[in-house]
């Protein structure tokens, strides 16, 4: 009886999976086997895996997604950790989310204004006697702005898993004579891994298909898979090729998910 009741609760979610995940996915798979003349073909896959352009794009996308994720993690972990120590930590964590409510395009325009030739950053550098620097259209600015966009998405899950760590573990660790550093590496870090892993999933996967930032800030000098998908859906209207790239993205996501799978046993083990 109770089991059935429980099962009913899962119905909305499973329905969602079926209607909005499985159905569109089937559609994408279906489209990926057709060319623009609506004939069945494997040519899209053949093109993807043999053309230097697409392979290069894939390598680019993965490489930049890795860099973006790494930078985001390096900034977010300490931020999340320090926030947990603040008095009004819940307020501060809400303040981390707030900037994400402003439209991405508007924020990108703001960055153009900040990083531009006469922008605030360059004026500041000039005032410090460091002279003018070309900031826009560089790989660095592309990565930094992308990381900026992603940071809140990384901070939140890490913060969540850090707040779960019970004080008693830390006290126990101190009682056993561990230093702060040892406590961090042997207690806190392993216990916060689930948060870090969800953060990586939330940041890395969408970073594979960035296209707005790569155009607006990177000046289209870095072409990612997202750019190609955009082009196939909206310029050449070759939905087959676009879907093929979509399938590749889904498969790479599965790989990332497998790599960041939670292997930790229940109850939390100390290493």
Partner 1 sequence: MKKIISALILMLLICLGLAYGSHQLQQATGDGGDKVLNLYNWGDYIDPNLLTKFQKETGYHVNVETFDSNEAMYTKVKQGGTSYDLTIPSEYMVEKMRDDHLLIKLDHSKLTGFGNYGKDYLNKSFDPQNQYSLPYFWGTLGIIYNDQLIKKNSVTHWNQLWNPKYKDQIMLIDSARDIMGLSLISQGRSVNTTNSKELVAAKDKLDRLSPNVKAIVADEIKMYMAEGEAPLAVDWSGEAREMMDQNPHLHYVVPKEGSNMWFDNLVIPKTAKHFKAIYAFLNFMSQPQNAAQNAEYIGYSTPNTAAYKLLPTSIRNDKAFYPPESVIKHLQVYKNLSQAKVEEYNDLYLEFKMHK
Partner 2 sequence: MKKSLLRWQNWFLIIVFVILYAPIVFLIAYSFSSGTTMDHFGHLSGVHYIELLSDKRMLAIFLDTILIAILSSTLATIVGTLGAMAIHNAKHRQTKQTLLSFNSVLMVSPDVIIGASFLIFFTALRVPLGFWSVLLSHTAFEIPIVVLMILPRLGEMSSSLINASADLGASNWQTMSQIILPFISPGIIAGFFMAITYSLDDFAVTFFVTGNGFTTLSVEIYSRARQGISLEINALAGIMFIFSLILVVVYYLIENRKPTKPKRMGAL
Between residue 197 and residue 256, which ones bind partner 2 under the rule CB under 8 A? 197-198, 201-202, 205-206, 208-209, 211, 225-226, 229-230, 233-234, 239, 242-243, 246, 249-250, 252-254
The binding track of 41-70 with respect to partner 2, each residue x by CB under 8 A or -, is ------------------------------
Question: Shortest distance, CB of residue 223 to partner 1, whole angstroms?
Answer: 5
- Residue 110 or residue 254: which is nearer to partner 1 going by CB? 110
- Residue 50 or residue 262: which is nearer to partner 2 going by CB? 262
Rounded CA separation 188/203 (Å): 22
23 backbone dihedrals φ, ψ, rounded to 5°: -60, -50
170 class by beta-carbon count within 10 Å (0-12 exposed, 13-18 middle, 19+ buried): middle
Residues forming contacts to partner 1 in the complex (CB under 8 A) are: 36-37, 53, 56-57, 108-109, 112-113, 116-119, 136-137, 215-216, 218-221, 223, 228, 231, 234-238
Angle at 186 between CA 185 and CA 191, to 5 degrees: 95
Cβ neighbours of 209 (radius 10 Å)? 19
Question: Shortest distance, CB of residue 142 to partner 2, whole angstroms?
Answer: 15
- The site partner of 223 among partner 2, partner 1, none (C-beta below 5 to 8 Å per kind) is partner 1
Interface pick for partner 2 out of 50, 52, 106, 129 (rule CB under 8 A):
106
Question: Which of 241, 262, 269, 215 has the alpha carbon at shortest distance from 45?
Answer: 241
- Residue 41 or residue 100: which is nearer to partner 2 going by CB? 100
- Give a three-class secondary structure readout of 102-158: CCHHHHHHHHHHHHCCCCHHHHHHHHCCCCCCCCCCCHHHHHHHHHHHHHHHHHHHH
Q: Is 152 a residue that touches partner 2 (CB under 8 A)?
A: yes
């Amino acid at each position: 009886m109770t089991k059935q009741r429980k099962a009913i609760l899962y119905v909305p979610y499973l329905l969602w999976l079926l209607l909005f995940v499985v159905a569109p996915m089937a559609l994408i798979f279906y489209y990926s086997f057709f060319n623009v003349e609506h004939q069945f073909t494997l040519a899209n896959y053949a093109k993807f895996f043999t053309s230097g352009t697409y392979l290069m794009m894939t390598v680019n996308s993965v490489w930049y997604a890795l860099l973006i994720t790494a930078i985001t993690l390096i900034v977010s972990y300490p931020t999340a950790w320090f926030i947990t120590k603040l008095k009004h930590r819940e307020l501060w964590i809400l303040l981390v989310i707030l900037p994400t409510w402003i439209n991405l395009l508007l924020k990108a325009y703001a960055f153009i204004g900040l990083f531009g030739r006469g922008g605030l950053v360059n004026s500041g550098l000039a005032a410090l006697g460091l002279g003018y620097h070309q900031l826009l259209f560089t790989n660095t600015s592309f990565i930094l702005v992308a990381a900026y966009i992603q940071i809140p998405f990384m901070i939140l899950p890490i913060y969540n898993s850090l707040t779960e760590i019970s004080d008693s573990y830390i006290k126990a660790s101190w009682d056993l004579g561990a230093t702060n550093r040892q406590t961090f590496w042997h207690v806190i870090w392993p216990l916060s891994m689930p948060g870090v892993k969800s953060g990586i999933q939330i940041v890395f996967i969408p970073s594979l298909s960035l296209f707005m930032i790569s155009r607006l800030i990177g000046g289209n000098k870095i072409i990612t898979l997202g750019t190609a998908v955009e082009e196939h859906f909206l310029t050449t209207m070759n939905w087959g090729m676009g879907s093929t790239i979509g399938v590749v993205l889904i498969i790479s996501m599965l790989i990332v998910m497998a790599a960041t799978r939670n292997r930790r046993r229940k109850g939390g083990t100390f290493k």
